[in-house]
A = this chain, B = another copy of it.
């Protein structure tokens, strides 16, 4: 690990829509998170892996116990390796890759506390998750940075690759992440590690997002100067005011290049709930939080993943699916839009963007 910062060393975090080398996933295995022993979730993870595999390489980390089964299910076109992990959220436990102008790549291994630590986190323990980033850094043979006293998850930030970062106060200023740091000090970390200049702070992420409002479920960059924002015109939807507040912040912001920001609205699906049967299929454990059957899941089309020349988009068998895909097609006429029915992933609390981490080329 390097005792410096990416910015000092000439590295920056590229935007997700820049050219990628590969995407990393982790295999769903927890029976206290994924109903019916994660077997239905595994099927969707296979679909996601194969969808990514059409555009670039994909590597899936699996526990030793599940390795043979995963290898069989994923097939020979997916790079399947043993990598211990506590759950599947590679966006948050994997490294954030940075690049320099000479085409070199390095990885940042952020400190991880399972989205809030012992009291407020999603599960305990998380020691295997904590080691995923360094495992991927070692696997790729790149140099790594480690932030020992700065907690961050990859899903809590988005960058445009040209100096602007999007995040939420609900997450990054939460007392369960870095209570020892002020907002200014947190901004300093982001600037030093990601080489960004302008940080745009939305107040909150989506309602009932157990990550404390990760940006990647409510808003992302489409390209520099343009964002896609989750949206609802239903005043009874818990996200109604959240989306409006975010819109106001975005419309009042200027990015690092001095641009005003174009905001594409992407309508949310209708509220989605875990069924009684699904709920019954989850093994009880005191160590993992779970959704109750009357809580809306934080489902969002914004949680898509950019791959080369494409985006992999979660859909929910919902009346809003078609509108969402059309909206995305209008925003990205140059990209292939690949929808995946991913109810099984949102049942775990996240979606395709949350379970993936791209490595730039």
Contact = CB atoms under 8 A, between A and B. Distances in A.
A77 B135 CA distance: 13
A173 interface: no
Given A64-B64, A64-B84, A84-B64, A79 B141 contact: yes
A143 interface: yes
A288 interface: no
Contacts of A134: 71
A325 interface: no
Contacts of A46: none
A246 to B, nearest CB: 40
B76 A138 contact: yes
Nearest to A139: B81
Contacts of A57: 141
A81 B138 contact: yes
A140 B140 CA distance: 13
A79 B59 CA distance: 15
Contact of A82 (B76, B80, B82, B143): B82
A163 to B, nearest CB: 29
A138 B64 contact: no
Give the dominant DSSP class at A's interface. Answer: mixed
Interface string A101-140: 0000000000000000000000000000001001101111
B68 A131 contact: yes
Contacts of A256: none
A152 B77 CA distance: 26
Contacts of A77: 141
Given A79-B141, A80-B138, 5 more contacts: A76-B141, A79-B140, A81-B81, A82-B84, A82-B135
Interface of A: 57, 64, 67-68, 71, 76-84, 131, 134-135, 137-144
A168 to B, nearest CB: 33
Contacts of A71: 134, 138
Contacts of A137: 76
A76 B144 contact: yes
A92 B306 CA distance: 41
A144 B135 CA distance: 25
Most buried by B among A81, A82, A84, A144: A82
A52 to B, nearest CB: 13
A138 B68 contact: no
Contacts of A80: 138-139
Nearest to A58: B141
18 contacts: A57-B141, A67-B135, A71-B134, A71-B138, A76-B141, A76-B142, A76-B144, A78-B141, A79-B138, A80-B139, A81-B81, A81-B82, A81-B83, A81-B135, A81-B139, A82-B82, A82-B83, A82-B84
A6 B79 CA distance: 22
